[in-house]
């Protein structure tokens, strides 16, 4: 079964450093998403991406965050200057069409120290 692949599975970084989280969505999917889940809290929407541009973003997704699809297979989330409160599981997801029913990756656990 096709799956969304995320790397690394766990990343530890120092506060103030830049991190890039990587995702390979399912190959025929056109819509891409990033969500995050702080330990013990809800899964929260960060951003959606379609046709090489951001289609919607949440208030969490401030100027410190950016997304990119650098080639035909990867989808990345960059955090420019990490803060302690950025520590969370970051999930990439993709879907073939607009609407419900994403396929999520297994996540990258980001720990900011």
By beta-carbon proximity to another protein, the closer residue of 39 and 84 is 39
By beta-carbon proximity to another protein, the closer residue of 31 and 86 is 31
Instruction: Report in angstroms how near the CB of residue 41 gets to another protein at its nearest.
Output: 8
Write down how long the chain is: 113
Chain-centroid distance, C-alpha 70: 14
Instruction: Report in angstroms how near the CB of residue 16 gets to another protein at its nearest.
Output: 27
By beta-carbon proximity to another protein, the closer residue of 75 and 91 is 91
By beta-carbon proximity to another protein, the closer residue of 20 and 43 is 43
Instruction: Report in angstroms how near the CB of residue 56 gets to another protein at its nearest.
Output: 4
Task: Give CA torsion, residues 24, 26, 32, 34, to 10 deg.
Answer: -50
Binding residues for another protein, rule: CB under 8 A, are: 4, 31, 33, 41-45, 48, 50, 55-56, 58, 89, 91, 93, 98-107, 109
Edge-to-edge, what's the strand order for the sheet holding 75-79?
5-7, 19-24, 75-79, 65-68
Spatial separation of the C-alpha atoms in residues 109 and 113, rounded to whole Å = 13
Instruction: Report in angstroms how near the CB of residue 73 gets to another protein at its nearest.
Output: 19
| 62: CB partners within 8 A, 6+ apart | none
């Amino acid at each position: 079964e096709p799956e969304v692949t995320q790397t690394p599975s766990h990343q530890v970084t120092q506060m103030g450093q830049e991190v890039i989280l990587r995702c390979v969505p399912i190959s025929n999917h056109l819509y891409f998403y990033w969500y995050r889940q702080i330990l013990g809290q809800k899964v929260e929407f960060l951003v959606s991406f379609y046709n090489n541009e951001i289609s919607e973003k949440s208030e969490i997704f401030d100027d410190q965050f950016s997304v990119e699809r650098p080639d035909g297979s990867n989808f990345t989330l960059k955090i420019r200057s990490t803060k302690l409160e950025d520590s969370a599981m970051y999930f990439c997801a993709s879907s073939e069409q607009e609407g419900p029913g994403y396929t999520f990756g297994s996540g990258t656990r980001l720990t900011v120290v």
